[in-house]
Amino acid sequence: MRDDMILLGHGSGGQMTHDLVNKVILPLIHEGREAPEQEDSTPLTLPTGEIRFTTDSYVVDPIIFPGGDIGDLAVNGTINDLAMGGAVPFALSLGFILEEGLLMDDFTKVLRSIGRAAREAGIQVACGDTKVVPRGRGDKIFINTSGVGLARNGLRPGSAAVRPGDRLIINGTVGDHGVTIMSMREGLKFESPVKSDTAALHTLVDALVKAGVEIRAMRDPTRGGLATVAVEIAEASGVHIRLDETAIPVNKHVAAACEILGLDPLMVANEGKMVLVTPERDAKKALDVMRSHPLGRDAAMIGEALETDGRAKVTLTSYAGGARMVNKLPGELLPRIC
């Protein structure tokens, strides 16, 4: 009989753990492909040269939401961290911390989407680990993923490399993921057609590289949103970034939800967006490349870097012709009534 929920015994290291790993986790993640040997560590043969290495942990409530779940979020998020560094994703690890009582159906759904996301991205899940904590000591499922990517020769994008005159381009609408999660929170719930934008961005980066677009900086604006990433770039590079409010793409449902909750879409999280900074001469080309890629159909040029007046900052030109400062998300993103 298959268990219908995760029990402490699944993390015991004994037979139950063995069965969970071999009968549930590995078949779903490596569906149709050979799983790596189960040893304490996995050998990887990397082509010589520089690699990029990253790690990230995923905690999201709810774990399953319109447009995705914590599984593809974890795979895509780690791929994006590699891709934003200019690397070609190669392999990743998966560490699960499961809460006792997690429904097996939910876990298998998450595993399936991990398998699908990894397969579609052509990245190998090289090693993993599963622990179970007593009920109440975790929140259904936490995932840690570390990723290794192969650095491309000569490509070292960095937030500090932006120069006055550079242009900022985003590959689509902002705020979709954050609004999706909020719409499901107790006390805030609303109905909307919004879906998470979770996606792996490395093929979009491939397309930009192939087209010969010069990449100064690439960042994925996840938590903290576009506003936070723009300020981080401005501060790292010592420039004034001016964003154009009329150019920033926002899905109308996201805009409406933000209106109701008193939120600024620029501060709301994304999971499949990238901000590209490129010299002015390549901006048009970059925009064309993005718009002909499935993940960049709504790409837009949203701003430019300028000389500072002594202080790195981000401003936003409003459609009314006014201007304001853009700040990092100060803390938690909270709905407001005033």
Partner 1 sequence: MCVAAPMKVVEVGEYSCVAEIDGVRKSASIIALEEVKVGDYIMVHAGLAISKLDPASAEETLRLMREIVATEKRNDEIH
Partner 2 sequence: MKYIDEFRDGALARKLVADLEIEAERLSRRVTLMEVCGTHTMAIYRHGLKPLFPEKVRLVSGPGCPVCVTPAGYVDMAITLARTPGVIITTFGDMLKVPGSQTSLVKERGAGRDVRVVYSPMDAVETAKSSPDKEVVFLGVGFETTAPSVAAAILTAKREGVKNFTVLASHKVMPEPMEALTKGELKIDGYICPAHVSAIIGERGYRRLAEVYGVPCVITGFEPLDMLRGVIMLVRQIAEGRAVVENEYFRVVKPEGNVKAQAILADVFEKSNAVWRGLGPIPDSGLAISPRYESYDAMKKFKLSEPDVRENPACLCGEILKGLKEPLDCGLFATACTPENPVGACMVSSEGTCAAEFRYGERSRANA
Catalog residues that contact partner 1 under the rule CB under 8 A.
Answer: 190-194, 252-253, 255-257, 259-260, 262, 336-338
Nearer to partner 2, 212 or 262 (CB): 262
Residue 193 binds: one of partner 2, partner 1, none (C-beta under 5 to 8 A by kind): partner 1
CA torsion, points 164, 167, 173, 174, in degrees to nearest 10?
-10
Residue 12 binds: one of partner 1, partner 2, none (C-beta under 5 to 8 A by kind): none
Angle between helices 70-84 and 104-121 (to 10 degrees): 30
The residue type of 133 is V
Specify the DSSP element, H or E, that contains 69.
strand 68-69
Stretch that binds partner 2, among 89-97, 155-163, 203-211, 313-321 (CB under 8 A): 313-321
Determine, following the binding rule CB under 8 A, whether residue 323 of this chain makes contact with partner 2: yes
Q: Which of 17, 42, 93, 315 binds partner 2 (CB under 8 A)?
A: 315
Q: What is the C-alpha separation between 146 and 92, in angstroms, rounded?
A: 5
Phi, psi of 34 (to 5 degrees): -75, 130
Span between the terminal Cα atoms of the chain, in Å: 54
- Which residues are CB-contacts of 141 (< 8 A; sequence separation ≥ 6)? 63, 70, 96, 97, 98, 99, 102, 106, 107, 110
Max intra-chain CA distance, the chain: 69
Work out how close the CB of 160 gets to partner 2 at its nearest, in angstroms, rounded to a whole number.
22
Nearer to partner 2, 86 or 249 (CB): 249
Residue 191 binds: one of partner 1, partner 2, none (C-beta under 5 to 8 A by kind): partner 1
Nearer to partner 2, 1 or 337 (CB): 337
Residue 186 binds: one of partner 2, partner 1, none (C-beta under 5 to 8 A by kind): partner 2
Per-residue interface string for the shown chain with partner 2, residues 204-243, x marking contact by CB under 8 A? --------------------------------------x-
How many CB atoms neighbour CB 41 within 10 A? 8
Residue 257 binds: one of partner 1, partner 2, none (C-beta under 5 to 8 A by kind): partner 1
User: Could you tell me how many residues of this chain bind partner 2 (CB under 8 A)?
Assistant: 35
Structure-block tokens of residue 202: 């490395």
How many CB atoms neighbour CB 87 within 10 A? 24
Give the interface with partner 2 as residue ranges (CB under 8 A). 186-188, 242, 245-246, 252, 255-256, 259-261, 264, 309, 311, 315-325, 327, 330-332, 334-338
